[in-house]
Amino acid sequence: MRIITDVFRYCAENLPRWNTISISGYHIREAGSTAVQEVAFTLSNAIAYVQAAIDAGLNVDTFAGQLSFFFNSHNNLFEEVAKFRAARRMWAHIMRERFHAQDPRSLGGKILRLDKDGAAPSDDPLPGSPVFSLGHRNVEGIAWQPDTKALYETEHGPSGSFPECCHDEVNLITAGANYGWPTVRGIAKDPRFRDPLLESGPTDTWAPSGGTFAAHPGPLRGSLLFATLRGVHLHRVVFGPDGRAVAFEERLLENRFGRLRDVFELPSGDFLVLTSNRDGRGNPTRDDDRILLVTLR
């Protein structure tokens, strides 16, 4: 990954018309895969190359146009024609929707707002577009503050190795604002972008997931609670009167139930917390996955 990312960077600057890589499905098919598996493995490899380069700070438009593919051609004509057409369309779709967080015409890396009939509301920030905010890497949880009705969001930062890692974010979402990905990550103090209210920093990862505000009357009301996967805890944040400054935060249920996926408040003021230990990344116990009934005092 390091060497191909370096090749992308060098060629983008010095050999912009050179095809930097031939992403191969040929050997996968020759080794016994089906046509469907050939496309699936090849495109997933291609996505990994593109993501590694973006995580290393490259602008996708400077290198993605020079990626080429190398597929096998078996003798079932109709299946092979369908395979090539499907692979071409899928790749175009993936590149358009997944890797253009800063392009307002793309739906990738955005929070969208739609009416129930699927149309964009007339007061969305871009006329005729469902894009509500942009520059997000991986939105995981959204929650509305019960008093101000403001929208908050959790998202994962980059997943590479240091320094291209960590920087998980909690953002206050406002219409039309740009949250920086992939140009900046975490609190960047760059006037072009909106900084997160809090982030996990350059070395720590929460992998924040679903979140909710405590709305039941009582001492917790107004706290933002969000589940964390890698962080294996339930994160509680209390914001100051402006809804932005972090007044207090704490880690609940830490290392007790493994990876936590989501949190939901019941009308009683208790919470349901969902574990996520059987997604291939946890260490499941015999009774995972579980929905925990949690009382916070």
CB of 185 to Ca ion, least distance (A): 6
| Least distance CB 134 / Ca ion (angstroms) | 10
Following DSSP, what letter does each residue of 237-248 receive, concatenated? EEE-TTS-SEEE
Residue nearest to Ca ion according to CB distances in the complex? 180
Quick note: the x/- pattern for Ca ion over 16-55, rule CB under 5 A, is: ----------------------------------------
In the complex, what is the shortest distance from the CB of residue 282 to Ca ion, in angstroms, rounded to a whole number? 27
| Closest separation in Å from C-beta 155 to Ca ion | 7
CB closer to Ca ion, 69 vs 179:
179
Q: Provide the mask over 57-76, with x wherever binding to Ca ion is found by CB under 5 A and - wherever it is not.
A: --------------------
Q: Taking the complex as a whole, how short is the minimal distance between the CB of residue 267 and Ca ion, in angstroms?
A: 34
Longest dimension (CA), the chain: 69
141 touches Ca ion (CB under 5 A): no
Q: Is 239 among the residues that bind Ca ion (CB under 5 A)?
A: no
Q: Give the pairing type, strands 151-155 and 208-213.
A: unpaired
Nearest approach in angstroms of CB 164 to Ca ion is 14
Asked if 152 is part of the footprint of Ca ion (rule: CB under 5 A), the reply reads no
Q: For residue 166, which of 230, 257, 251 has the smallest C-alpha distance?
A: 230
Kindly state whether residue 180 participates in binding Ca ion, applying the rule CB under 5 A: yes
Which listed range, 18-26, 51-59, 122-130, 174-182, lies at the site for Ca ion (CB under 5 A)?
174-182
Looking at 175-183, 218-226, 246-254, 259-267, which segment touches Ca ion (CB under 5 A)? 175-183
Token pair of 195, please? 């900084």
Nearer to Ca ion, 87 or 224 (CB): 224
Nearer to Ca ion, 194 or 259 (CB): 194
Output 184 or 272, the one with its CB closest to Ca ion: 184
One DSSP character per residue, the chain reads: -HHHHHHHHHHHHH-TTS--EEEE-HHHHHTT--HHHHHHHHHHHHHHHHHHHHHTT--HHHHGGGEEEE----S-HHHHHHHHHHHHHHHHHHHHHHS-TT-TTS-TTEEE---TTSPPPTTSSSTT--EEEE--S-EEEEEE-TTT--EEEEE---BSSTTSB---EEEEE-TT-B--TTT--SS---TTSPPPSEE-TTT----EEEEEE--SSSTTTT-EEEEESTT-SEEEEEE-TTS-SEEEEEEESTTTSS-EEEEEE-TTS-EEEEE--SSSSS---TT-S-EEEE---
CB nearer to Ca ion: give 179 or 257.
179
Nearer to Ca ion, 206 or 257 (CB): 206
Closest contact distance (angstroms) between CB of 165 and Ca ion is: 14
Pairing of strands 234-239, 246-252: antiparallel
Binding-site ranges for Ca ion (CB under 5 A): 179-180
